[in-house]
Amino acid sequence: MAQSTIARRILDTQLGGQDNKSRSAELFASCLNQMWANNGDALSILYAGTGALKSGFTRTGKRTVAGMLDDAMKTVNRMYVNTFLDDSRQYVIDALVGKLTKWQAMTTLLRHPLQDDADQEIARA
């Protein structure tokens, strides 16, 4: 949110010769808000598995009940993703940023999560 505020002030400076109430200034501000919200959603999906929280406020400048409900749903979805689906995503991120050795990355990424269960069932047969 701080970055979008700074960007908005820079836009206001760039449009300095125009009345900030003009239609073109409002259009530029709306496009800027959409860009920041879309960027926040894209980054949040990569790291948290859902869109960004408070993106409705970034888009419109207003906090609404619908926006709060949307944030509540995203929070519940994040909890689910973090609890049940996040392991493989975190391994990929760790491998890409170099936190894993090559051997760890290869063995972790190539091994299916159900492989141990399958190996046990084969051993029993």
- Residue 111: per-residue pLDDT: 59
pLDDT over 70 percentage in the chain: 83
* Mean pLDDT score, 73-92: 81
- Residue 81: per-residue pLDDT: 82
Please, are residues 32 and 11 in contact by the beta-carbon 8 Å criterion? Answer: yes
Greatest mean pLDDT range, 4-8, 62-66, 83-87: 62-66
> Could you read off the pLDDT of 48-60 as tens digits, one per residue?
888 888 888 888 8
Helix intervals (H) in the chain: 2-14, 23-48, 55-60, 65-80, 86-96, 102-110, 115-124
Q: Report the amino acid identity of residue 119.
A: D
